[in-house]
Amino acid sequence: MTQSKNVDSLLAHTPAIVAAGERAAAEAVRRAKANGLNIHYIEDGYLIEEAPNGSRKVLKPIDPVG
């Protein structure tokens, strides 16, 4: 299969890949919280730490990439 056909195939499946990634991320967050672990994510240019009880703490600003 050529590189062009590989790209076309990937683009045709992009919505399914994105949906699978979203489900996997949601499950990972659910499991982390169920095990008492904090999660970290970027929101509005800040690194956020969220505890299993839902409390959040801003850890630091994140410089934009690019």
pLDDT tens-digit profile, the chain (66 residues): 567 777 777 777 788 888 999 999 999 999 999 999 999 999 999 999 999 999 999 999 998 776
* 30 and 2 co-located in one domain: yes
What are the angstrom distances between the C-alpha of 52 and each of 1, 13, 42, 48, 49?
Answer: 46, 34, 17, 13, 10
- 49: tokens are 């730490």
* 31 and 42 co-located in one domain: no
Range of the domain at 30: 1-35
> Whole-prediction pTM value?
0.68
* 3 and 31 co-located in one domain: yes
Number of domains in the chain: 2
